[in-house]
Every structure is written in C-alpha cells, then in structure tokens.
C-alpha cells in the first residue's frame, strides 16, 4: 500500500502529525512503519493530551517502591512483602463486544501485575452503564459481568470488591475499568527496562492472530453509527492459557534469567518492544518470521499491530534460552527467540530477509506529540434553595424506599455472586462492604482495596469531584481498619479536543492531586481513557480511584454489620444538610443543578485518622462511611448486613429531618460502640476535635426514628436487595 496523508488520517493520525513523521524520518514511512506510528502516537499509548497534566500528581511516598511509568505501581507492606497494583480501562471493546471486552480487560490487567513478578491475589472492577430504561443496558450489563467472572474465575483469582452505576450519559459508551492486586517479595520485582547488548529477545505465550488489530487506535476514537464494523478490533481472551502463562513466568522468575519483561497489551508487539528498548536506551532487532502465528500469510503490519492476548516479551541473559524454553515447553506455551538488543537505538524489523521497518526509538517515544490543549474552567454552581413545601409534602418512609431501591444504591449482590470471591482462601471481607480485604498468606497482615467514582459530583464541579473521589477511597479503606497507602486511577473522559471535556479532565486531575497530596495518598499507577462518547455526546467525567491500604493485624478488621443490641451508634463528622447533587435531590426532588458537597481536607484527614485509632484500639464494633444516600442509607445497610434494627433520635438542629438524614456532606462515618467503651470513644473524639452526633441504639428487627417512623429490617432488605435481581430476570 502506498502511504499518503489520507492513509495516515485513516489510521487516526492528524495531518500535522503525519507531516511531523515524514520530517523526523526524512522520508515517507511504509505501511508497517505508519502502523507503528499510529499505535505509538495514539492517545491510548502516548498520553499526548494528558501527559502535561498527569505530571502534577503526587507519585512519591515512604511506602512507594515504584510509581507511574512501569506496568503497575508497587508499594511496601512491610517485612519482605510488596503489593503490585493497577487499574485500566477496556471501555470501547466492552461496548462493542461486552463479554470479550470485559474478559480481556481482566486478563490484561492481571498480566500487568504478574509481569512484575507478583502473583495476583485479588481483582476489583468499576463498571458503568446507561439508563436502566435504555434498550442495550441489560444485555451489556449481563455480558460484562459474565466476561469479568468468566476470566477471573478461570484464573482462580478472587474478585473482592467493585462498583456499578447507571447514568444516561453512558448510553452510547459504557465504562469497564478492571483492577488487580498482586503479592511479591521486594527482592523479586521485575521491570521492563531492557539492558545489555546482544541479549536475546523472547516471545512467549499464545500465537499471534488477527484479533485486536487497531485495538489501541480504536480506544482513542469516538463511536459512530458504524460501531458493528469495529468488532474485529476486539481481542479474544483465553483464561486457561493465561493461567499457564502466569505459572510459567513465575517459574522462570524464580531464577536469574530475566533482564526485562513486558506484556503485550495495547498495540501488542509494537508497544512492548519499543517501550523496553526506550527505557533501556537501546535498539531492538526483530525477525518477524520467527513470531509464532496462528493464521497464514500474516503481514508484518498485522504481526506488529495484533493485540492477541496472553503473550509476553522477555529479554533474557545470554545462555538462558534453553532453560527458559524447557519451562515454557512444560507449560505447553509457544517460545521463540525473535530478536536481540542492539546499540542502534532503532527498531529494526525483518521479514522474508527484507528490512521492513527502521525507525529511531526516540522518534516514537520522546518525540511523540504532547499537546497543551485549550480548556474551560468550570464555575462552581450556586446552591439551590429548596422550598419548605417541597419537603413537607414528602413522606419519609416513601423516600427511603425509593432511595434504597435506586439503581445506584441498590445491592449489587446479583453481580458479585457471579464472581468467585473466596478462591485462594484468603478473602476475609467479601464484596458488599466498604472495601474488600485479603490476608497476606502465612502472616497476620491483610490488604484492603476499594474502587470508587462519582461522575455526578465531577460533572457538577470537576475540581471538587476529583477531591471527593480520593476522599471516598480513603474513607472506604479506613472503614475496614486499613491504613491507606496509595492509589491507582483510571481517568475516563470525553474528547480532549472539546474544551469543556478537557477542562473537566484538567480540574479533576487537579482535585485528585490536591487530595492525594494532603492525605499522603500518592498515585502510583493509572490509565487515561479519552474519547468516551458517541458522535459528539460524551460521558459524564468519571475518574475511578482504586485505593489500597494495609491492616497490620487482620484480627482488628472491622465490618459494617451492626453487632449487638444496646450498643450506641454515632455519626462521626458534621452534617450541614448539603442536598445538591445528592441522590435525594436528583431522584426525589428531580433537581439536577447545584454544587457537589464541599470537601474539607483537614476534617477528612482528622476524622479518618481518629477513626483508625479507635479501630486499632479495639474500641468500636462496626463502621461504615456515609456516601450516596446520606446517613439513613448508611444506617439501613448496616441494619440489613447485621439483621439488626436501631432506635434513632434525630439530633436537635434547625434542618429538616429529610435534609439531615439524606444529605451527602463528606467526611462522615457511622460507628457502633459498646456502652463499656463509649466514654473512651467520646474522650478521643473530643480530644481530636472531631464532631459527632450520638444518634441511636441498636435493637431487634426494626428501624425507628423518633418513634414516628417504623420499618422492619425485612422491609429494608426488600427495598434494597430485590431491584437488580428483578431487573435482570425480566
């Protein structure tokens, strides 16, 4: 094929980008070279619209071993142990082909983790779908859930937590973000930086096919009415092969053979080979005839751009080829020496004894485009004044029923029951709580993880919304007794070429950075997903935050279920009655305007650290953070989990009881305290200047408020646990 400007545009490159390529090469690229540029310079791989702003995020900390720039982040969890973790998007593939898109998203993030020498110990996910009334939503949800469960279950890795939401902005572009945690010894972490000259470059895993070609480029484009034509760009996964690949890689990693290792994810052999060479300031030479292919007559272009799954690229020490081959033969996986490292600082590709590509590495990486896109700053909306009559006409019981059965608050048990959350035998807090928790096998330690996002808050005011998501992750970890250590993020937005969308991204990142820095909660890995839109209609800004924390003694772990009759229930943190952008405002009052709740980082840190001290001193019995739906929603879920009731007395205040119970002010928790520990708890709260309300006492079987409102726990269960099951059964 003759390469020209139009061919470049068809590959997702801009006119000026193609001109720059020709200028840097001092010639016109051939079709294979153009394919390589289109892969390395697209948004998904180059971060050309986001790099400038991502640099502002705090990435260092006392517990950070590896920050952004590797396959995944790594944190120290004491002794000789470290946790490797990352979250990534697989949005476009999952909308086109929900089962395979979601499945390969899970497979890809697990490879990122075990590429670094870690055995995966837990999966999480953040999945977002269109309106429940949209014709595609139900089938997309079913396909995605089955894909996540199908791959993770076959790999034998528990899915311990997640998040699911519904919003009409996802009607034409769902979001599927997958997260994995892995456990590794600190002296056995592997990296992707190639080193040494003449070192053998090894291809291992599955054979290369034509599936997934242009997958990375497709992820950097918006949808149109021709979406069905993009199905061939969706990768096809095989979890059983990945399980073999995991075990083979870990066996080889037990020795001293590997110099560098990189999974073949987005852009396949192209990105893996170029990134390894770039990090090592080396060149790389590859004979494409030696790449194992499962289809006949594959061209160099197809081989380099294929995103076939379950493949790795390894740089070995000289003389270790036979040893490595024996291991991969044992696990019935392909093994081929396809090239070597060189001093040319170029990628040189050979096929049928001809050189089919010859590109300086720095042109593809260091000289890739970086844009300072125009963006619009968002104004903080004015607060709404709710007429008293709008509140007095509402019946509390009816409101609570509607909110507990709201699609974004209803129990997601139908989803997580399809995931194996107990395999490996170390899950000690299953999905449905504030965070999932897994033991570090053979120790008293446990690792907690959660994943959160709040598109509504970020849409209303991106800066505030960005801060809120980090704080939500912080609270979820603290609520189970874990000290927060670090986060990973998956930043899902519309087109960066749209000034409003770009502004949402810039300010969300600013908010994430501000909160992360204040809370000593650094960002160690992540992913940016732009062009989440159909035609010109983009999604609400949806940054997903995956938080990880450590419980030094898992016997002190806290759950959210109410424990014992007679125990006292406290609300930690001040309730101001912020209704705007709450579930109550949007779904009961039908009010979509107004600002999100304010974030006070001092209070977030102080309240959280105080609660962590209470948990560490074994002074409380249960805890749950207050988020969507407010105080009464949090309490209702604690009643449901524990099969206990509560007698609530609203604290004296000027605000209406609906405002008090359904507002979504931040920095708050519900805690359960025994009478014998109450004085100690109150003393510490007062000492640390933490606001609290003593709100109720646990009892049997019903929730009552000021002796006026009375609902049985069975009623609460019905409201909260049946909607999704009924929805999916119709």
The answer to whether 89 touches 176, Cβ cutoff 8 Å, is: yes
Write down the catalytic residue from 44, 128, 214, 421: 44
Compute how many other C-beta atoms are within 10 angstroms of the C-beta atom of residue 680: 13
Dist. CA 438–CA 430, nearest whole Å: 9
Catalytic site residue 44?
yes
- Kindly tell me the burial class for residue 225, based on how many C-beta atoms sit within 10 Å of its own C-beta (0-12, 13-18, 19 or more): exposed
Report the SS3 class of residue 176: strand
Q: Calculate the alpha carbon distances from 36 to 8, 41, 71, 540 in Å.
A: 11, 8, 20, 32
Segment (H or E) for 692: strand 692-699
The answer to whether 464 touches 470, Cβ cutoff 8 Å, is: no
Tokens at residue 472, please?
């939500």
Q: What is the 3-state secondary structure (H, E, C) of 417-449?
A: CCCCCCCCCCEEECCCCCCEEEECCCCCCEEEE
H-type helices in 486-571, by residue range? 499-518
Dist. CA 174–CA 206, nearest whole Å: 29
Residue 366 phi, psi (nearest 5): -60, -35
Segment (H or E) for 390: helix 388-392
Tokens at residue 4, please?
């020209």
Tokens at residue 18, please?
């193609």
Which residues are within 8 A (CB) of 545 and not within 5 positions of it... i.e. 6 or more apart?
451, 452, 453, 469, 470, 472, 473, 487, 488, 489, 512
Report the SS3 class of residue 66: strand
Beta strand extents in 334-458 (DSSP E only): 334-342, 346-351, 354-360, 427-429, 436-439, 446-452
Residue 648 phi, psi (nearest 5): -105, 140
| DSSP code for 693 | E
Nearest-10 crossing angle of helices 31-40, 15-25? 120
Write down the catalytic residue from 90, 214, 461, 578: 90
Q: What is the side-by-side strand order in the sheet with 334-342? A: 258-263, 311-316, 200-205, 334-342, 283-287, 346-351, 354-360
**Residue 282's closest CA among 350, 222, 377, 348?**
348
Dist. CA 480–CA 560, nearest whole Å: 8
Tokens at residue 296, please?
């006949």
Dist. CA 561–CA 635, nearest whole Å: 9
- Kindly tell me the burial class for residue 722, based on how many C-beta atoms sit within 10 Å of its own C-beta (0-12, 13-18, 19 or more): middle
**Residue 86's closest CA among 129, 50, 123, 42?**
123
- CB contact burial 559-573 (16+ within 10 A = b; e otherwise): bbbbeeeebbbbbbb
The answer to whether 124 touches 450, Cβ cutoff 8 Å, is: yes
Dist. CA 696–CA 650, nearest whole Å: 8
Q: Calculate the alpha carbon distances from 414 to 24, 419, 465, 641, 721 in Å.
A: 54, 10, 29, 16, 9
Active site residues: 44, 90
């Amino acid at each position: 094929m003759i390469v020209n400007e139009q061919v470049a545009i068809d590959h997702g490159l801009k006119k000026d980008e193609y001109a720059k390529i020709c200028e840097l090469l001092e010639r016109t690229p051939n079709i294979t070279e153009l394919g390589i540029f289109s892969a390395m310079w697209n948004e998904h791989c180059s971060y050309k619209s986001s790099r400038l702003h991502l640099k502002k995020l705090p990435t260092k900390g006392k517990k950070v071993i590896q920050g952004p720039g590797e396959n995944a982040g790594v944190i120290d969890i004491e002794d000789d142990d470290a946790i490797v973790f990352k979250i990534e998007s697989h949005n476009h593939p999952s909308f086109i082909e929900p089962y395979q898109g979601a499945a390969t998203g899970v497979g890809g993030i697990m490879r990122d983790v075990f590429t670094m020498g870690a055995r995966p110990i837990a999966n999480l996910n953040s999945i977002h779908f269109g309106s429940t009334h949209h014709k595609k939503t139900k089938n997309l949800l079913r396909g995605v859930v089955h894909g996540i469960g199908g791959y993770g279950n076959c790999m034998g890795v528990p899915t311990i937590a997640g998040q699911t939401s519904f919003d009409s902005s996802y009607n034409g572009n769902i979001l599927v973000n997958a997260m994995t945690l892995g456990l590794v010894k600190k002296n056995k972490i592997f990296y992707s930086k190639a080193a040494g000259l003449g070192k053998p470059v090894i291809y291992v895993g599955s054979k290369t096919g034509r599936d997934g070609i242009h997958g990375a480029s497709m992820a950097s484009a918006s949808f149109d009415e021709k979406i069905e034509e993009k199905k061939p760009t969706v990768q096809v996964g095989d979890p059983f092969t990945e399980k073999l690949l995991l075990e083979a890689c870990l066996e080889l990693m037990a020795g001293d053979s590997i110099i560098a290792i990189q999974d073949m994810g987005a852009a396949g052999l192209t990105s893996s080979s170029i990134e390894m060479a770039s990090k090592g300031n080396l060149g790389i030479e590859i004979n494409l005839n030696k790449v194992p292919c499962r289809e006949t007559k594959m061209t160099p272009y197809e081989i380099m751009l294929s995103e076939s799954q379950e493949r790795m690229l390894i740089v070995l020490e000289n003389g270790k080829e036979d040893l490595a081959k024996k291991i991969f033969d044992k696990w019935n996986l392909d093994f081929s020496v396809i090239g070597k490292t060189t001093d040319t600082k170029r990628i040189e590709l050979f096929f049928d004894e001809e050189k089919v590509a010859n590109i300086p590495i720095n042109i593809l990486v260091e000289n890739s485009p970086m844009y300072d896109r125009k963006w619009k700053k968002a104004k903080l909306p004015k607060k709404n004044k709710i007429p008293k009559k709008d509140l007095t006409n509402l019946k509390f019981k009816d409101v609570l029923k509607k909110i507990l059965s709201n699609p974004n608050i209803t129990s997601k048990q139908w989803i997580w029951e399809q995931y194996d959350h107990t395999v490996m035998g170390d899950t000690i807090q299953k999905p449905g709580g504030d965070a999932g928790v897994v033991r570090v096998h053979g120790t008293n330690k446990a690792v907690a993880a959660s994943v959160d996002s709040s598109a509504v808050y970020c849409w209303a005011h991106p800066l505030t919304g960005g801060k809120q998501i980090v704080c939500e992750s912080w609270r979820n970890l603290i609520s189970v007794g874990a000290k927060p250590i670090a986060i990973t993020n998956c930043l899902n937005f519309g087109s960066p070429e749209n000034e409003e969308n770009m502004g949402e991204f810039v300010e969300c990142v600013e908010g994430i950075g501000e909160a992360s820095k204040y809370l000593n909660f650094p960002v160690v890995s992540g992913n940016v997903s732009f062009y989440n839109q159909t035609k010109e209609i983009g999604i609400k800004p949806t940054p997903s935050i995956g938080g990880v924390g450590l419980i030094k003694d898992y016997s002190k772990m806290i759950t959210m279920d109410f424990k014992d009759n007679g125990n006292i229930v406290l609300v930690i943190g001040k309730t101001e009655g912020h209704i705007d952008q709450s579930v109550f405002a949007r779904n009961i009052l039908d009010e979509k305007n107004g600002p999100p709740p304010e974030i006070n980082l001092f209070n977030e840190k102080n309240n959280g650290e105080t609660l962590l001290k209470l948990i560490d001193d074994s002074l409380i019995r249960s805890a749950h953070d207050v988020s969507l739906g407010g105080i009464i929603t949090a309490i209702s879920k604690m009643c449901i989990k524990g099969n206990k009731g509560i007698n609530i007395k609203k604290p004296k205040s000027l605000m209406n009881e609906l405002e008090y119970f359904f507002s979504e002010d931040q920095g708050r928790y519900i805690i359960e305290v025994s009478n014998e520990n109450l004085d100690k708890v109150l003393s510490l709260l007062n000492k640390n200047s933490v606001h609290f309300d003593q709100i109720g006492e646990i009892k049997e079987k019903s929730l009552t408020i000021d002796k006026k409102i009375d609902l049985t726990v069975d009623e609460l269960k019905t409201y909260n646990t049946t909607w999704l099951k009924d929805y999916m059964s119709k």
